[in-house]
Chains A and B, each alone.
Chain A
Amino acid sequence: MRAADANSSVKSRGIAALFILTVLVLAVLPDLLSTYYLGLVIEILIFALFAMSLDLLIGYTGMASLGHAAYFGVAAYAVGLLAIKLHWSVWSALPAALIIVAAVATLFGLLALRTRGSYFLMITLALSQVAWGIAFGWRSLTGGDDGLPNLPRPELAAHWSLAGDRPFYFFILLLEGAGVLLLTRLATSPFGFALRGIRESETRMQALGYDVWRYKFAAFIVAAVFAGLAGALYAYYNRFVSPDYLGVFRSAEVLLMVILGGAGTLIGPAIGAAVIVLLENLVSAYTERWLIVIGTIYILVALFAPNGIIGFIRDFRARRAKS
C-alpha cells in the first residue's frame, strides 16, 4: 500500500508539472503564432472541452449519447440571440445560456433516461434532431439555415473590448481552462467514481444503496452544461451560429473524438479533439472528402485501437514493460 501511495504521489507531481508546462506554453502561444494558427488552438481548446463533456457520459457513466451537439448548439443559439437581439453582455448572456442548457438537458434527460443502451442512443439522436428542427425551421427567430451572423465579440467592460486576437484568446483560454479543471475535478470526485461504478454494474450499485437514476440524471445535466460552455464560446469565436452546430454530423464528430482519443480517460478525448480539428483544417472541412476521412478514421480506430489513442499507448507500454 505504501509503495502504491508513493507511486501515486510521483504520478500526481508529474501531472502537476505537465499542467504548469501546458499553461506556460498556452500563455506564450499568441506571441508565437499567426492569427490563423491561434484560431486553430482556440478550436482545439473548445472541442477538447466538448469531447471531455461527452466522455463523462460515455467513458464514465457508460451512456452513449448520439445527440450531444444539441447542448453545444442550444447554448450557442442562446448567447447568439441574447447578444444580437437583446444586446446582453457576455457576463449575462453566458450564464443565461448555461441555465437554458441545463433546463433543456433536464427535459431531454427525463425522456432519454427512461431508456438504456441502443435505445438511449436513438432517443438522444431524436431529441437533438428536434432541437435542430427548431433551429432550422423557426426562421423569424433563428434565421433558419442562414443562421445568426454578426455576433459581436464580447466586451469585458465598457471600452475594454476583446475584439483583438490576443485578448480574445486569453478570454477563451481562461474559461476553457476553468471548465476543464472543474470537469476533471468532478470526474475524479466521489461523484465521478460512482459514475464509473454505474458503468460497470448498475445492479451492484443499487444493491450498495446508490440511487443510480439520480446519478445518471445529474451526469447528463452536468455533461450538457459543459458542452454548452464549449458551444457558447464557439459562437463567440465564430461570431456566427447555424443549425450545423446542433446537427447529427457534429454529434457524430464529437463521438469520434472521444472514441479516437480513448473513452473514460478525459485526456484522451482532448487529444482526439486536437487530432480531428487539425485534420479537418488539413482536409478542407465539410466536403465529401472530409466525410470519407472521418469514416476511414472510425474504421481504423475500431479495427486497430478500440480503446483509442490512450489505450493504444497503454497497451504499447505494457507490452514493452513485459519484454
Chain B
Amino acid sequence: MSALSVTDISRNFEGVQALANVSFEVAPGERRLIIGPNGAGKTTLFNILAGSYAASSGRVALFGRDITHLPAYARARLGLSRTFQITNLFFRLTVLENVLLALQAGNTTASPVLRLLRQDRALLAQADALLARWELSEHAGHAAQDISYGQQRQLDILLAMAVAPKVLLLDEPTAGLSAAEVPRVKAILRSLARDTTVLMIEHDMDVAFELADRITVLHQGRLLAEGNVEAIRNNPQVTEIYLGSD
C-alpha cells in the first residue's frame, strides 16, 4: 500500500490552473523529491496534501485511507506533517515554547482532559534534546521573531519533525540557510528513520539529488516526468524546461 496516493488532483485559482490532473504514488519510507520551475504548483500541491487548500477535483489517500475531505488538523493527527515555504512560527513565543507546543500536540500520555490541564514535565526534557540537536539551545528563551532567518527556517522544520510524522512534507528546507547551516539540516534529514516517508520540494540540486530516491517533475501545473535520479537527469524535456526558464 502506498504511503501517499494522489489521484487526478486539479486546482485553479480564479482562472490560474495551478495544478492539472496530477497523479502519483509514494511508497512507504521513500524519499520523493518534487522539482519544477517557479510557479509550477509545488507548494499548491503540498497545501492540498496537507489540507490547507481544497482540491478543485481529485483524491488524496494516506496509507490507503481517503483524506480528501479531512481538515488539516485531522490529517496531521493521522501522521501527515508539513513545513511552510513562508516561515510559519509562533513568533512572539519563545523558541522553547514553539517546540513545546509541537510536542504537546503529539502527546498522548494521559487522558485528553488531563492533558489539557496539566503540563507534562517530560515534554521539557524532549524539547531540550531537540533544541540541542538543532543547536538552538542558547536561543531557547528568545522570542522566535528575534532569532536569525536561518534559525527560523530550521525551527520551522524542527516543529514539523517534532510530532513524529509518518509522512513529512518539506517545502524548500534549505532555502534561506547560511552555508554553515545547510550541512546540519542535510545530516538531520539523512538520519531520519525510514519509517518516515518524506516528500521534499528543493531547488538546491546537490541536496535534492543526494537525498532523493525518486523525483517528480511539475511544470505549469502538470506532471512532466517521474523517475529515479538518473532517469530525470537524462530526461531531455526536464533539461529543456530548466534551461528554458533560467
The answer, among B51, B101, B137, for a CB contact under 8 Å with A197, is: B101
Residue pair A189, B117 in contact (C-beta under 8 Å): yes
Contacts of A208 in B (CB 8 A): 73, 76, 81, 101-102, 105-106, 159, 163
User: Which of B40-67 touch A at CB < 8 Å?
Assistant: 50-52
Residue pair A4, B105 in contact (C-beta under 8 Å): no
* A193 at the B interface (CB under 8 A): yes
Residue pair B93, A200 in contact (C-beta under 8 Å): yes
| Chain A residues within 8 Å of chain B by Cβ, number | 22
User: Which of B108-125 touch A at CB < 8 Å?
Assistant: 115-120
Residue pair A206, B101 in contact (C-beta under 8 Å): no
Chain B nearest CB: distance from A143 CB in Å? 41
Please name 11 further chain A to chain B contacts, defined as beta carbons within 8 Å, in addition to the given A205-B101, A207-B73, sorted by A numbering: A1-B137, A1-B140, A186-B117, A189-B116, A197-B93, A203-B88, A204-B89, A206-B76, A207-B88, A208-B81, A208-B106
Residue pair A4, B90 in contact (C-beta under 8 Å): no
CA distance A4 to B94 in the complex (A): 13
Contacts of A189 in B (CB 8 A): 116-119
* B11 at the A interface (CB under 8 A): no
Residue pair B93, A204 in contact (C-beta under 8 Å): no
In the A-B complex, list the 7 residue pairs whose CB atoms are closest, starting with the nearest: A209-B76, A200-B90, A208-B105, A206-B72, A191-B116, A209-B77, A206-B73
Residue pair B118, A207 in contact (C-beta under 8 Å): no
Given A189-B117, A191-B117; A209-B141 close (CB under 8 Å): no
Residue pair B163, A209 in contact (C-beta under 8 Å): yes
CA distance A201 to B84 in the complex (A): 12
Residue pair B73, A211 in contact (C-beta under 8 Å): yes
CA distance A196 to B54 in the complex (A): 27
Contacts of B100 in A (CB 8 A): 193
Q: Please, what's the 1-or-0 string for A203-241, where 1 marks a CB less than 8 Å from any CB in chain B?
A: 111111111100000000000000000000000000000
Residue pair B116, A190 in contact (C-beta under 8 Å): yes
CA distance A189 to B100 in the complex (A): 12
* A194 at the B interface (CB under 8 A): yes
Chain B nearest CB: distance from A321 CB in Å? 15
CA distance A193 to B119 in the complex (A): 10
* B167 at the A interface (CB under 8 A): no
Which residue, of A204, A209, A211, has the highest number of chain B Cβ atoms within 10 A? A209
CA distance A212 to B105 in the complex (A): 12
Residue pair B119, A207 in contact (C-beta under 8 Å): no
Contacts of B74 in A (CB 8 A): 211
Chain B nearest CB: distance from A43 CB in Å? 31
Chain B residues near A (Cβ < 8 Å): 50-52, 71-74, 76-77, 81-82, 84, 88-93, 97, 100-102, 104-106, 115-120, 128, 137, 140-141, 159-160, 163
Contacts of A190 in B (CB 8 A): 104, 115-120
Q: Can you name the residue of chain A whose Cβ is closest to the Cβ of B162?
A: A208
24 sampled A-B residue pairs with Cβ under 8 A: A1-B128, A1-B137, A4-B140, A189-B118, A191-B117, A193-B100, A193-B119, A196-B97, A200-B89, A200-B90, A201-B89, A201-B90, A201-B91, A204-B88, A204-B90, A204-B159, A206-B52, A206-B76, A207-B82, A207-B88, A208-B106, A209-B105, A209-B106, A210-B73
CA distance A189 to B89 in the complex (A): 20
Chain A residues near B (Cβ < 8 Å): 1, 4, 186, 189-191, 193-194, 196-197, 200-201, 203-212
Chain B nearest CB: distance from A300 CB in Å? 24
Q: Can you name the residue of chain A whose Cβ is closest to the Cβ of B92?
A: A200
CA distance A201 to B92 in the complex (A): 10
Chain B nearest CB: distance from A162 CB in Å? 32
CA distance A210 to B100 in the complex (A): 13
Q: Can you name the residue of chain B whose Cβ is closest to the Cβ of A215?
A: B116
The answer, among A186, A191, A197, A207, for a CB contact under 8 Å with B76, is: A207
Residue pair A194, B104 in contact (C-beta under 8 Å): yes
Contacts of A206 in B (CB 8 A): 51-52, 71-73, 76
Q: Can you name the residue of chain B whose Cβ is closest to the Cβ of A185?
A: B117
Residue pair A196, B93 in contact (C-beta under 8 Å): yes
Contacts of A193 in B (CB 8 A): 97, 100-101, 104, 119
Q: Can you name the residue of chain B whose Cβ is closest to the Cβ of A1?
A: B128
Contacts of B137 in A (CB 8 A): 1
CA distance A208 to B80 in the complex (A): 9
CA distance A235 to B232 in the complex (A): 75
Contacts of A211 in B (CB 8 A): 73-74
CA distance A321 to B74 in the complex (A): 46
CA distance A157 to B104 in the complex (A): 45
Chain A nearest CB: distance from B87 CB in Å? 10
Given A206-B71, A207-B50, A207-B160; A200-B91 close (CB under 8 Å): yes
CA distance A68 to B92 in the complex (A): 26
Contacts of A205 in B (CB 8 A): 73, 101, 105
